[in-house]
Structure 1
Amino acid sequence: MTRKIELPPKKERHKLFGSVEPGLKLKPTEKEKMPDLQNTKKDFLFTIDAVGISNVKQPIIIESELEPNQQTTIATFKMTSKISYDAKGTNMSRFTEQLETYRQNGGFILSIKNLYDFTKELAERLKQKDASIEVTFPWFYERKGPSSQLTGLNHSEAKLTVHYEEGIGFSSSASLTCAVTTLCPCSKEISEYSAHNQRGYVTMNVEFTEDYHEEVDWKKALLEAAETNASAMIHPVLKRPDEKMVTETAYENPRFVEDMVRLVAADLYELSFVKAFQVECRNEESIHLHDAIASLSYRK
Structure 2
Amino acid sequence: MNKTDIDTPASLPPKQERHKLFGSIDPGPKTKPVDKDKMADLQNAKQDYLFDIDVVGINNVKHPIKVKSFMTPEEQTTIGTFTFSSSIAKGSKGTNMSRFTEQLTKYYEQGFTVTIASLKEFARELAGRLKRDDAFIKVDFPWFFERKGPSSELAGMNHADAFISVSYSRTDGFDIQTGLTGKITTLCPCSKEISEYSAHNQRGNVSMAVTLEEDFDEARTDWKEALLEAAESNASARIHPVLKRPDEKMVTEQAYENPRFVEDMVRLVAADLYEHPFVEAFEVSCRNEESIHLHDAVASLTFDKRTDEL
> Corresponding residue for 2:281?
276
> Would you say the 8 A contact 1:113–1:213 is kept in 2?
no
Give the counterpart letter for 1:185 in structure 2. Answer: P
- The match for 1:117 is 121
Q: Can you list the C-alpha shifts for 1:159-206, whole angstroms capped at 9, x where unaligned? A: 100011112111100110000000000000000011000000000010
After TM superposition, the structure 1 = structure 2 runs for residues 19-168 of structure 1, keeping only pairs within 5 Å, are: 19-106=24-111, 108-168=112-172
Cα deviation 1:127-181 (Å, max 9, x = unaligned): 1111000000000001010000000010000010001111211110011000000
Q: CA RMSD in A?
A: 0.7
Aligned partner of 2:221 among 200, 212, 216 = 216
Per-residue deviation, residues 182-231 of structure 1 (Å, max 9, x unmatched) = 00000000000110000000000100112212221000000000000000
Which residue of 2 is the match for residue 202 of structure 1? Answer: 206
Please tell me the residue identity of whatever aligns with 1:142. E
Give 5+ residue unaligned stretches, structure 1: none
Name the counterpart of 2:252: 247
Asked if the contact 1:65/1:220 (under 8 Å) is kept, the reply is yes
- How many angstroms apart in 2 are the aligned matches of 1:24 and 1:213? 59
In structure 2, distance between residues paired with 1:135 and 1:234: 25
Aligned identity (percent) is 65
Between the aligned partners of 2:271 and 2:8, the Cα distance in structure 1 is: 75
Task: Report the residue type matching 1:201 in the other structure.
Answer: N
Residues 260-291 of structure 1: per-residue CA shift (max 9 Å, x gap):
00000000000001000010000000000000
Cα distance in structure 2, aligned partners of 1:145 and 1:76: 31
Q: Which amino acid aligns with 2:227?
A: L
Q: Which whole-Å CA distance do the structure 1 matches of 2:224 and 2:15 have between them? A: 55
Residue 67 of structure 1 and its aligned partner are, at CA, apart by 0.4
Match for 2:206: what amino acid? Answer: V
Distance in 2, Cα, partners of 1:198 & 1:4: 57
Which 4+ residue blocks in structure 1 deviate beyond 2 angstroms? none
Q: Distance in 2 between matches of 1:71 and 1:150?
A: 21
> Residue 255 of structure 1 aligns to which amino acid in structure 2?
R
1:263 to 258, 262, 268: 268
Question: After alignment, is 209-218 or 242-251 more displaced?
Answer: 209-218
Separation (CA, whole Å) in 1 of partners of 2:12 and 2:215? 69
State whether residues 46 and 84 of structure 1, in contact with CA within 8 Å, keep that contact through their aligned partners in structure 2: yes
The aligned length equals 299
* Equivalent position of 1:171 in the other structure: 175
Write the distance in 2 (CA, Å) between the matches of 1:275 and 1:29: 52
User: 1:230 matched to which residue of 2?
Assistant: 235
d(CA) in 2 for partners of 1:21 and 1:141?
A: 54
* Structure 1 equivalent of residue 192 of structure 2: 188
Which letter maps to 2:15?
A: K
Does the CA-based 8 Å contact 1:280-1:293 persist in structure 2? yes
The answer to which of 197-206 and 52-61 deviates more is 52-61
Q: Secondary structure at the match of 2:235?
A: coil
Deviates more, 1:4-13 or 1:266-275: 4-13
Alpha-carbon contact 1:112-1:213 (below 8 Å) kept: no
Match of 1:14 among 19, 37, 43: 19
Q: Residue 308 of structure 2 aligns with which residue?
A: none
Residue 4 of structure 1 and its aligned partner are, at CA, apart by: 2.5
- What TM-score results when the alignment is normalised by the length of structure 2? 0.95
Question: Any gaps of 5 or more consecutive residues in structure 2?
Answer: 306-310
